[in-house]
């Protein structure tokens, strides 16, 4: 293989109330969609470096796909929603919520991180891992925000543009790095497939 190929998978749905802000909390994955999991298995490379965010729902999704040996990379975690983690959006109120929704790209939830801070964290992890596993297939099971951050990194997007992508559970997003002399060219092959 001459290119570094990232295969991004968003974890299976979280169990429980879909209105809960999960972020970095450790809830179980709903692994009942066997058909989608089976289709993913067929599309993924046979030989790859397997990564997860280390959050339970990403690890459980890897195991459901049949992967036993994966590396947990905390830099690939979802956005940290701080004090809002485990709460429902509809139950939040106050100045911090209003400020957040007026500029959710750069505004932080109390005790958490902004979307743009997450993009910076994820981009740093991706760039480090891309050098470490250059010219290999890398399968990463992560989160919607993480995959949006990967797209922002590849396409040099500002957070507002990256946040516009739709990333469904158990979807596949492919990004490739093509070496070009001393430069790296990023190529987005498909999003949310």
Structural domain harbouring 133: 4-190
Q: CB of 53 within 8 A of CB of 72? A: yes
The predicted structure's pLDDT at residue 116? 95
Q: CB of 31 within 8 A of CB of 87? A: no
Strands 137-142 and 49-52: parallel
Q: How many structural domains comprise the chain?
A: 1
Q: Which residues of the chain have pLDDT under 70?
A: 1
Q: CB of 40 within 8 A of CB of 9? A: yes
Phi, psi of 139 (to 5 degrees): -105, 120
Residues 81, 86, 89, 93, CA torsion sign: negative
What is the domain-level CATH number for residue 152?
3.40.50.1240
The pTM of the whole model exceeds 0.85: yes
The predicted structure's pLDDT at residue 1? 62
The predicted structure's pLDDT at residue 19? 84
- Here the tokens at position 171 are 């979807």
Q: What element of type H or E holds 95?
A: helix 95-102
């Amino acid at each position: 293989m001459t290119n570094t190929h990232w295969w991004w998978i968003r974890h299976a749905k979280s169990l429980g109330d879909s209105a809960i802000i999960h972020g970095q909390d450790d809830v179980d994955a709903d692994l009942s969609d066997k058909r989608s999991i089976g289709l993913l298995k067929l599309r993924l490379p046979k030989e790859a470096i397997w990564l997860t965010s280390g959050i339970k729902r990403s690890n459980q999704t890897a195991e459901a796909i049949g992967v036993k040996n994966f590396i947990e990379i905390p830099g690939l975690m979802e956005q940290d929603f701080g004090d809002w983690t485990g709460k429902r959006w509809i139950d939040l109120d106050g100045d911090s919520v209003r400020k957040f929704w007026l500029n959710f790209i750069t505004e932080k939830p109390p005790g958490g991180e902004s979307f743009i801070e997450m993009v910076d964290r994820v981009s740093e992890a991706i760039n480090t891992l891309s050098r470490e596993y250059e010219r290999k297939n890398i399968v990463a099971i992560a989160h919607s925000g993480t995959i949006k951050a990967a797209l922002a990194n590849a396409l040099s997007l500002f957070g507002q543009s990256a946040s516009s992508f739709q990333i469904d559970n158990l979807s596949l997003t492919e990004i490739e790095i093509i070496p070009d002399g001393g430069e790296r060219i990023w190529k987005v092959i498909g999003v949310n497939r």
